[in-house]
Amino acid sequence: MIFDVFTLFPEHFEWFAGQRHVRNAGEHGSELRFFNYRDTTPLGAGQVDDSPYGGGAGMVMRVDVVDASLEAAYGPDRDGVRKLALTPGGRRFDEGLASELARESHLALLCGRYEGFDERIVAHLADDAVSIGPYVLSGGELPAMVVADAVLRKLPGSLGDSESALEESFSEALGGAPEYPHYTRPPTYRGWGVPEILLSGDHAKVREWRLERSRERAART
């Protein structure tokens, strides 16, 4: 998969790009690339935003600037790239959307800043608008990392052998429910014990217990 991030702050991703599962994905053929809107802006002095028509506080990311960035990256034919504008009011990001995106071969995440995007970016340049939750962050960089993390860890080779994305919270294997609780040594700590069944060695019963806890958690959320 090619994963492109369009941002004013590519340096914010240095830590993320160094994470093990991201590097693993890279070693298995995925590519994470960054494009700075400022590098290709057609406006002078690196301008990328402008004041909103109709008045109001803050600045708005310009449609011609984002278009120029996409043009420089892909040229006029962008059909093979699924382009997602990150915006608080977009489609809520969840495990289902992460799985859907993991099946794409080429993704582009558009990070906004300031008051957000000129709406024509969302309507005409992006294929979807995506939100990581009903709250407002200062920029699209953290949302882009959230989306990229959840998607990349689903790609073959991203997680180590001892880890698995198959049976996790919200996975098909658990019927979309949250995962069951885990415990490890010591068996008691400050008087807090571990459920006996997990120490019994009876794998069938352990499985049954785990699925039951998972269903319980689903019923509570």
Dist CA 58 CA 74 (whole Å): 30
The residue range among 18-26, 134-142, 166-174, 183-191 that interacts with ligand SAM, by the rule CB under 6 A, is 134-142
Collapsed DSSP state (helix, strand, coil) of residue 67: helix
The residue range among 82-90, 174-182, 190-198, 210-218 that interacts with ligand SAM, by the rule CB under 6 A, is 82-90
72: contact with ligand SAM by CB under 6 A: no
94: contact with ligand SAM by CB under 6 A: no
13: contact with ligand SAM by CB under 6 A: no
Which of 8, 132, 174, 177 binds ligand SAM (CB under 6 A)? It is: 132
What residue type is 4 in one-letter code?
D
Dist CA 108 CA 9 (whole Å): 15
- Closest to ligand SAM by CB, 29 vs 89, is 89
- Residue 131's beta-bridge partner residues? 92
52: contact with ligand SAM by CB under 6 A: no
The residue range among 31-39, 105-113, 154-162, 166-174 that interacts with ligand SAM, by the rule CB under 6 A, is 105-113
Q: Are 67 and 4 within 8 A, CB to CB? A: no
